[in-house]
Amino acid sequence: MSTLDGRKRVVISNVAPQVEDGRYPAKRAIGEHVGLSADIIADGHDAVAASVIFRHESEQTWHDLPLSPAGNDRWEGTWTPAKEGFYEYRFTGWIDHFASWKRGLIKKFDANQDIAIELRIGEILLREAFEIASPPDKPAFEAWISAFGNATDPQETFDLVVSDALAVAMAKIRFTDRISVFDQTFRLEVERKKAGFSAWYELFPRSASEEPGRHGTFRDVLRLLPKVAKMGFDTLYFPPVHPIGEMKRKGKNNSLVPSAADPGSPWAIGNRFGGHKAIHPELGTLEDFTELVAAAKELDIEIAMDIAYQCAPDHPYVKEHPQWFKWRPDGTVQYAENPPKKYEDILPFDFETADWQNLWHELKSVIDFWIGHGVNVFRIDNPHTKAFPFWEWMIGEVRKTNPQVIFLAEAFTRPRVMERLGKIGFNQSYTYFTWRNSKWELEQYLYELTKTDQQYYFRPNFWPNTPDILPHHLVEGGENAHIIRFILAATLSSNYGLYGPVYEYGVNTPHPGKEEYTDNEKYEIKHWDWDRYSRTREIITRVNRIRKAFPALQSTWNIDFNETNNDRVISYTKTASEGGEPLLVTVNLDHDHTQGAHIRVPLHHFGIGYDQPYLIRDMLSGEKYKWQGEYNYVEMNPWEMPAHILRVERLN
């Protein structure tokens, strides 16, 4: 009881955002807003006031963000943090004696009760405020105190009590010794813009050669850079570029019996030429790689590297650090397995090794090495099969000195595991979008991602395909389905990616019985004619241009779904909460047939009245329509253009 100040009567609880009770920071990218809220109450009937105080890690002083009551004792405020790095924030609340007094006085005045004593109480409250008011406000307080003290005309004094000038001055007063501060300080991690807004393109450099049959090189990729830039991608992601294991190498279509010419899977990392810090000799040299990174940067493209923490049997680590692997009683290293299946070309690290500290440092040094060569974006292969404490430590350490580094988690696994990876530091994550097709699935999944607490730690990156996954609907729906799934990915999520050029050319022959590409590029070198026309590519180019022009498409959280009366037509508004103007998107989910629907336009988002005509401009087709009221008809032919991305303009 001695240290407790029992006079602080305001109680704060159920604070948001918070991730695992403050164990992890909430996350936002530059430009994104965050809603702050808490339950804030006091005993009795006195007026309560509340604010959030916050400061950037580089600052000494706190800023004050007043909160407003949102009903049922919830208090809310909106904040758009301005700087990268960590902020800390605290919720505060206090009894607002002046507001209580003012409320009571108004009621008494309205009931024609005598307010003489009330005015004397008010004068006392003003004198208290005067003591701590800022110097520029002090003269005004002096005038009010004098007016209260010499009140003669009740109406005149009442007008002063309810005046805006007094309200504004009092709103600045903080009796810090009377303020309740929630016992926990929370953190918000503000990431660079790219963490929240990116368009990824994945290609195999070894397939980049202009001559069929020749192994592609980084120099070949140089030639493709302008084409990738023209499509509008800002992140070019390569599967692992390290030496590929020669022992137990897999052949075409994952065959256990490779031919001598088979190039092997890039994810079987390491051979006599080196491991995770080496370049596969056939791709070129380390200098070629850094040159490519620099050339890409000129085109506003970042190279993203694939980090797969696993070894081919001939990776140098196996001999140099045998203690990092599990050994079987027959003297062999434990390979990856999912009994009864065996993956003998892959040796996992043993994260329970007694030498775990050296293992962790070595794995981190791989990231440091590539940062040193200009890479700031890493796609992490199967992070869910490596120990969580390692990721938490590694990502934390890397971002402490290199906060610009972005980690994308390639975890296609159970919900709690994927969520965890976000909490412990991954900046982006692959998602279940790949398998969410129907309207209700998409709406439900986007709700989970953007309206629940997941928004604070799990940042989605939507991929319609990957070298590992050819979903059934891309097989069934052909080019139209490729276009629909791309538009959904690129407008539902501000981060998305695709694996090309198979995507632009609609390559979609599945391996029998599997959700995978047959003759998979993972096991063989392909050759692509980049000059061949592709409708998909044309639409990708248009949509990426629109994404760059409109801030509404540069955040994922600002989505509201619109009612439609056809389950094959989905519609959503990307609101203006992150700046710019709101956009209206409609997509036909049927890859075979034209579908139409009445959609309900959320007029309030566009500042349009119910009886006011307005102009709709489709940025995909260039067409214009005049609409009025909430319900309007759209129709989309998947053989031409399966979507509208609409600007909405008031007509005067």
The one among 3, 21, 60, 135 contacting a second copy by CB under 8 A = 21
Considering the complex, state which of residue 197 and residue 430 has its C-beta at the smaller distance from a second copy.
430
Q: Which two tokens stand for residue 230?
A: 């023209």
Taking the C-alpha atoms of residue 542 and residue 35, their distance in angstroms, rounded to an integer, is 32
Note whether 6 binds a second copy by CB under 8 A. Answer: yes
- 74-79, strands of its sheet edge to edge: 11-16, 34-41, 74-79, 68-69
Q: How far is the CB of 447 from a second copy (least distance, A)?
A: 18
Considering the complex, state which of residue 11 and residue 619 has its C-beta at the smaller distance from a second copy.
11
- The three-state DSSP-derived secondary structure of 445-479 is HHHHHHHCHHHHCCCECECCCECCECCHHHHHHHH
Query: SS3 of 633, please?
Result: strand
Q: How far is the CB of 129 from a second copy (least distance, A)?
A: 16
Taking the C-alpha atoms of residue 401 and residue 492, their distance in angstroms, rounded to an integer, is 32
Active site residue 381: yes
Note whether 149 binds a second copy by CB under 8 A. Answer: no
Contact in structure between 75 and 50 (CB atoms under 8 Å):
yes
**Among 60, 62, 145, 32, which Cα is nearest to 98's?**
145
The answer on whether 341 is annotated among ligand-binding residues is no
Sign of CA pseudo-dihedral 487, 490, 496, 499 = positive
Q: How far is the CB of 318 from a second copy (least distance, A)?
A: 19
Q: How far is the CB of 117 from a second copy (least distance, A)?
A: 5
Contact in structure between 147 and 160 (CB atoms under 8 Å):
yes
Cβ burial of 286 (10 Å; 0-12, 13-18, 19+) is: middle
DSSP code string of 490-507: HHH-SEEEEETTTTTTT-
Please, how many CA atoms are within 13 Å of residue 99, restricted to the half-sphere of its CB? Answer: 16
Q: How far is the CB of 115 from a second copy (least distance, A)?
A: 10
Contact in structure between 453 and 424 (CB atoms under 8 Å):
no
The one among 58, 72, 134, 155 contacting a second copy by CB under 8 A = 72
Q: How far is the CB of 296 from a second copy (least distance, A)?
A: 33
Note whether 154 binds a second copy by CB under 8 A. Answer: no
Hey, which residues between 286 and 345 contact a second copy (CB under 8 A)?
328-330, 337-340
Considering the complex, state which of residue 204 and residue 390 has its C-beta at the smaller distance from a second copy.
390
Considering the complex, state which of residue 23 and residue 650 has its C-beta at the smaller distance from a second copy.
23
Q: Which two tokens stand for residue 184?
A: 């926990």
Chain length of the chain:
652
Note whether 73 binds a second copy by CB under 8 A. Answer: yes
The answer on whether 112 is annotated among ligand-binding residues is no
Note whether 175 binds a second copy by CB under 8 A. Answer: no
Considering the complex, state which of residue 69 and residue 322 has its C-beta at the smaller distance from a second copy.
69
For a second copy (CB under 8 A), the number of binding residues is: 60
Q: Which of 32, 189, 381, 524 is catalytic?
A: 381
Taking the C-alpha atoms of residue 156 and residue 94, their distance in angstroms, rounded to an integer, is 30
Q: How far is the CB of 73 from a second copy (least distance, A)?
A: 4
Considering the complex, state which of residue 112 and residue 155 has its C-beta at the smaller distance from a second copy.
112
The one among 387, 475, 576, 603 contacting a second copy by CB under 8 A = 387
What residues have CB less than 8 Å from 548, skipping those under 6 apart?
A: 232
- C-beta atoms surrounding 509 within 10 Å: 11
Considering the complex, state which of residue 358 and residue 509 has its C-beta at the smaller distance from a second copy.
358
Q: Which two tokens stand for residue 25?
A: 């920071």
Contact in structure between 196 and 29 (CB atoms under 8 Å):
yes
Note whether 47 binds a second copy by CB under 8 A. Answer: no
Q: How far is the CB of 430 from a second copy (least distance, A)?
A: 16
Note whether 401 binds a second copy by CB under 8 A. Answer: no
Contact in structure between 171 and 163 (CB atoms under 8 Å):
no
Q: Which of 410, 524, 578, 590 is catalytic?
A: 410
Note whether 415 binds a second copy by CB under 8 A. Answer: yes
The answer on whether 345 is annotated among ligand-binding residues is yes
Considering the complex, state which of residue 139 and residue 389 has its C-beta at the smaller distance from a second copy.
389
Note whether 99 binds a second copy by CB under 8 A. Answer: no
The one among 389, 607, 609, 613 contacting a second copy by CB under 8 A = 389
To which H or E segment does residue 145 belong? Answer: helix 138-149
What residues have CB less than 8 Å from 217, skipping those under 6 apart?
A: 205, 208, 209, 282, 283, 284, 288
Site residues for a second copy per CB under 8 A: 1, 4, 6-9, 11, 13-14, 20-21, 23, 39, 41-45, 72-73, 95, 103-105, 107-108, 110-111, 113, 117, 120-121, 124, 183, 328-330, 337-340, 351-353, 356-357, 360, 384-390, 393, 414-417, 420
Active site residues: 381, 410
As annotated, the binding site includes 250, 310, 345, 382, 522-523
From the annotation, which residues make up the binding site for alpha-maltose 1-phosphate? 250, 310, 345, 382, 522-523
